[in-house]
Amino acid sequence: MTLAIDVHGLNKHFGDRHVVQDVDIQVEEGHICGFLGPNGSGKTTTLRMLCGLLTPDSGHGTCLGLDIQRDTAAIKRQTGYMTQRFSLYEDLTIDENLDFIARMYGLDRRRERLEQALERLGLTGRRRQLAGQLSGGWKQRLALAACILHAPRLLLLDEPTAGVDPKARREFWDEIHRLAEEGMTVLVSTHYMDEAERCHDVAYIVAGRLIVRGTAEQVVSKSGLITFQAEGPRADRLAAALAKAPGVLMATPFGEGLHVSGTDRAALEAAIAPHRHPPYRWTEARPTLEDVFIHLMDATPEPVA
């Protein structure tokens, strides 16, 4: 196994805030790793340390075989970084934005590379359109085209699909998988659980600490959560009462259905026992990634200011 990212003990402070705490992360070359966690958990700071935009206070390791402390300039040239906010020039066309990026990198075969990026992301027919006139989905395509123009080995994506429609999100993820098949390594932060399940594995960070790592199936299996689901007319209306019952950590409505989760099977079964009658039908269900991550958030103490 060849590791594209192999870092240990990353720490970063901003004043009195310990934003990233002793983070170890390894990502295999050609893999897609989902980087998950609540707002303010340290995801963006970690991404920026990996690509050389921020210097860790402490920690060591390599990114693309290069030292994350000493070789930041070389890492930047082999990494594509897509920020949360659209950061290209809105008063330039798609074509002009990409040509500017190509010149910044000093790329050879500039027009050839630009044409390939336009074709790959379906932007050829819009190349003369101003970036500021694009919808969220098309801005996303342009930003990705700019990130891969210099043929990076590593792609860091910071919540890249926030605010775009489901079709655009699916097309974006299809392209990410194509890039991974070609050997590119991808570390992507996201709040969407369906996107997390499309990653080869996931890493979950809370309050600056990396607390779980593995495939989606492994994360769910290791969580210790047990979930029962209720179906039937207005089963969702049981949520308020069950949320207060001993042994119930979560009672979550899904339409007219209900998911009830906890870690103590006996206590959980005792909680739902009074409601095991028609019109409700109870079955045991696999916890969702969302169930697991909310449980992890609740179980992790907030950092002291």
Q: What is the per-residue DSSP string for 170-191?
A: HHHHHHHHHHHHTT-EEEEE-S
The listed CATH number (3.20.20.210, 3.30.70.1350, 3.40.50.300, 3.40.50.880) that belongs to domain 3-78+152-215: 3.40.50.300
Statement: residue 304 has pLDDT above 60: no
Statement: residue 191 has pLDDT above 90: no
Predicted TM-score (pTM) of the model is: 0.90
Query: When comparing pLDDT for 296 and 173, which is higher?
Result: 173
What is the fold of 226-286?
Answer: Alpha-Beta Plaits (3.30.70)
CA atoms of 14 and 120, how far apart (whole Å): 39
Statement: residue 305 has pLDDT above 80: no
Statement: residue 303 has pLDDT above 80: no
CA atoms of 115 and 107, how far apart (whole Å): 13
Using DSSP's 3-state secondary structure scheme, residue 20 falls into strand
Helix axes 110-120, 136-148, angle to 10 degrees: 140
Q: Residues in the chain, how many? A: 305
pLDDT score, position 244: 94
Statement: residue 1 has pLDDT above 80: no
Tell me the one-letter amino acid at 222: K
Provide the pLDDT confidence category of residue 121 given band limits of 50, 70 and 90.
very high
Q: Measured on CA atoms in the order 199, 205, 208, 210, is the torsion positive or negative?
A: negative
Q: Where in the chain is the domain with CATH 3.30.70.860?
A: 226-286
Section 133-148 average pLDDT: 94
pLDDT score, position 221: 92
Section 45-74 average pLDDT: 95
In the numeric block, the tokens 């040239």 are attached to 77
Q: Which two tokens stand for residue 194?
A: 């369906």
Q: Which H or E run contains 114? A: helix 110-120
pLDDT score, position 301: 63
